[in-house]
A and B are shown apart, each in its own frame.
Chain A
Amino acid sequence: MDIGIKESIVALVSLNKDVISSSVPIFFVDSEEKQEETAILIAKITMGMVHDLRNGVYAIVKH
């Protein structure tokens, strides 16, 4: 059987340096292009999906 954690946030990619998290890794980036690129790279590694939280933060979630 295949066992893994689902529906959980794997990482955040943030333009806003004020974002804090105690449990999820945050990747700070400087531009929207960089944000998109970093999000894709992390999503490909973790097989996750990128969601836009609309406050300058992308959340990568494993479904």
Chain B
Amino acid sequence: MENYIISISVSIIIGVIARAYMMNIDHRQYPSYPQGFLSHITLGLIAASLGAVAVPALATKEFAAVTFLSLAAQQFRDVRNMERQSLDNIEPTELVPRGTAYIEEIAKAFEARNYMVMLTSLIVSLSMNISKVLKTAIEIQVIIGIFMGIFSILALKKLLTRQLIGEIAQVKPAQIKFDGPLLIINDVVVMNIGLKGSRKIYEERGIAVEIIPKNSSASATLSNIGQRQAIQHQAATQLGIRKDVDEPDFTPLARRNPHNGNLVMALIPMEAKIDLLVDVVKKTPVLETCKRKPRGKELKEN
């Protein structure tokens, strides 16, 4: 195995770098707490070592080792469970819940990132070992490995990047008004607010947006309740919400205009800045599980 020590260590290092790189991007949808950071970096290290030793194990005819590798890979399916459970457990403590669809999405993303690390390490170690067979100098091997590593990190990153709401829909500021107790945003009735005090706060500090889907696929995606919960949660957590547990009046609700599929949502943030709200809604990820494509073929032809 000592012949492979360089390829293994380079692969592991690049794999861990890949995990750290993706960790940076998490920040918006999932706080990278120090403890979470450590546990995910460690899991990333294990995934990277699995990818790194696969090729040398095959090359030295250690077939038993390869079998164990596939067993170890199974463990990463638990990552999804672990994330799902921990987010489910903190769900009742959120003022505006994430919703099960969003939790599932985050859990899946964490699982996929470990496979991404494994693939990156595998590609690095494969390319280094191939160049070794071709009898290139050790420095060249390392350079090829690093180059292939960076290339695969960027390619996989692009593959794993989700669409944002801003890409499938227009987001515009909307008007809040009241018809008696009914809160109306751009002609869509959202809810019945009985208390005059609450109505006054809505009129003074409330801001609202209208989300206009660009095509019928986007409209179907936005109609999904999980997707709407994700938008509500993002808006409330990023802007800070003026609400406490005993004030259900101020819960942001994304309601759909059944005639044209537009969504409207009102929010009472700590700071009433409409530009920020538009920006946050635009940058909400489109959840994989909520994506719909009715008449997909027809749309392509047009």
Contact = CB atoms under 8 A, between A and B. Distances in A.
Contacts of B197: 36, 40
A36 B195 CA distance: 7
Interface string A34-63: 001001100110011111101000110001
Given A52-B180, A52-B181, A54-B180, A47 B195 contact: no
A59 B193 CA distance: 10
Contacts of B92: 2
B90 interface: no
A39 B181 CA distance: 14
Contact of B196 (A36, A47, A54, A63): A36
B245 A47 contact: yes
A4 to B, nearest CB: 12
Interface residues of B, number: 14
Contact of A51 (B181, B196, B246): B181
Interface in B235-252: 245-246, 248-249
Given A51-B181, A54-B180, A54-B181, A44 B195 contact: no
Contacts of B245: 47
B85 interface: no
Contacts of A2: 92
B194 interface: yes
Contact of A58 (B180, B194, B246, B248): B194
B227 to A, nearest CB: 21
Contacts of A63: 248
Contacts of B198: 50
Interface in B27-78: none
13 contacts: A2-B92, A43-B195, A44-B246, A47-B246, A50-B195, A50-B198, A50-B249, A51-B181, A52-B180, A52-B193, A54-B181, A58-B194, A63-B248
**10 tightest Cβ-Cβ pairs between the two chains A and B:** A52-B181, A50-B194, A52-B194, A49-B248, A51-B192, A51-B194, A50-B195, A58-B194, A44-B246, A47-B246
Contact of B195 (A40, A54, A59): A40
B248 A39 contact: no
Contacts, number: 37
A47 B247 CA distance: 7
A48 B248 contact: yes
A60 to B, nearest CB: 8
Nearest to B92: A2
B197 to A, nearest CB: 8
Contacts of A54: 180-181
B246 A39 contact: no
B195 to A, nearest CB: 5
Contacts of A59: 194
A49 to B, nearest CB: 4
Of the candidates B181, B194, B195, B248, the one having the most CB atoms from chain A within 10 angstroms of its own CB is B194
A10 B181 CA distance: 19
Given A50-B193, A50-B249, 9 more contacts: A36-B196, A40-B195, A48-B248, A50-B195, A51-B192, A51-B193, A54-B180, A54-B181, A63-B248
A2 B246 CA distance: 16
Contacts of B192: 51-52
Nearest to A46: B246
Nearest to A62: B248
Contacts of B248: 47-49, 63
